């Protein structure tokens, strides 16, 4: 297996792993913190929440790993886009880590809330709401960071034909939809349905990379004009 084939397979695995880790982690966290009485339940279910946060941290590491693995391949076509892709994936990962800190704070807040006798309409509820909102905003900003710069990533994939162009086009649609969804969510509207095209791309492309790899006809020269 040559270097490009290894990079394709590893990148595909990391894409799928990142998606699975985040979905599993978020599901474990939201099953507790998504209920109205989360301040009462968070501390007693701290191990479940901590496991969910750990999975989200693993997702953050994986998204950086994706960019690092793809860098040697992408830089042959555009070093600027390749470097930028790494940079924006790091920004995304940092924002996701910041968002994952919120549930950890809520576990501690829940412990103090229970020790105080679970007072109704107390400042604990205000602090809890702030922690939840902070996590929400950090996640949406991470999605905007991912969505906007990934348009250049998909442009490079389309121009280079490293993967079939219909998959690159699906990526364009998916990342535009992802950015729009995050903006709508920050404005107080539901944009969940707009996650679907991006989610589809981040399943189809990794599977293609694992099964078929990159389509490299010749060793290209890095071009920054397009």
User: What does the alpha-carbon distance between residue 190 and residue 195 come to, in Å, rounded to a whole number?
Assistant: 11
Decide: 18 and 66 in contact? Cβ < 8 Å: yes
Q: Identify which of 213, 180, 212 has the alpha carbon closest to the alpha carbon of residue 196.
A: 180
Q: pTM score, two decimals?
A: 0.90
Per-residue pLDDT at 225: 42
Q: Which two tokens stand for residue 35?
A: 């209920």
C-alpha angle 194-97-209 in degrees, rounded to nearest 5: 55
The DSSP string of the chain is --HHHHHHHHHHHHHHHHHHHHHHHHHHHHHHHTSTTHHHHTTTTHHHHHHHHHHHHHHHHHHHHHHHHHHHHHTTT-HHHHHHHHHHHHHHHHHHHHHHHHHHHHHHHHHHHHHTT--TT-HHHHHHHHHHHHHHHHHHHHHHHHHHHHHHHHHHHHHHTSS-HHHHHHHHHHHHHHHHHHHHHHTT---GGGHHHHHHHHHHHHHHHHHT-----S-PPP----
Per-residue pLDDT at 24: 97
Per-residue pLDDT at 226: 40
Residue corresponding to tokens 């998204």: 63
Q: Which two tokens stand for residue 40?
A: 């009462």
Mean pLDDT by 10 residues, the chain (226 residues): 89 97 96 93 96 97 97 96 97 96 95 92 91 96 95 96 96 96 94 91 96 77 49
């Amino acid at each position: 297996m040559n270097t490009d084939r290894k990079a394709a397979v590893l990148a595909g695995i990391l894409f799928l792993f990142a998606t699975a880790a985040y979905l599993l982690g978020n599901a474990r966290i939201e099953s507790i913190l998504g209920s109205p009485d989360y301040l009462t339940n968070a501390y007693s279910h701290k191990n479940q929440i901590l496991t969910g946060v750990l999975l989200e941290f693993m997702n953050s590491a994986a998204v950086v790993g994706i960019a690092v693995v793809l860098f040697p391949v992408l830089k042959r076509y555009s070093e600027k886009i390749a470097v930028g892709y790494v940079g924006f994936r790091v920004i995304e990962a940092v924002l996701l880590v910041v968002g994952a800190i919120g549930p950890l704070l809520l576990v501690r807040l829940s412990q103090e809330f229970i020790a105080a006798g679970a007072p109704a309409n107390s400042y604990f509820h205000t602090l809890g709401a702030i922690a939840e909102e902070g996590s929400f905003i950090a996640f949406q900003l991470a999605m905007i960071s991912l969505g906007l710069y990934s348009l250049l990533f998909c442009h490079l994939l389309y121009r280079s034909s490293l993967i079939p162009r219909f998959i690159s086009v699906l990526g364009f649609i998916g990342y535009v939809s992802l950015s729009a969804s995050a903006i709508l969510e920050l404005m107080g509207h539901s944009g969940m349905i707009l996650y679907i095209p991006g989610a589809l791309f981040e399943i189809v492309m990794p599977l293609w990379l694992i099964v078929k790899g990159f389509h490299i006809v010749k060793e290209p020269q890095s071009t920054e004009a397009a």
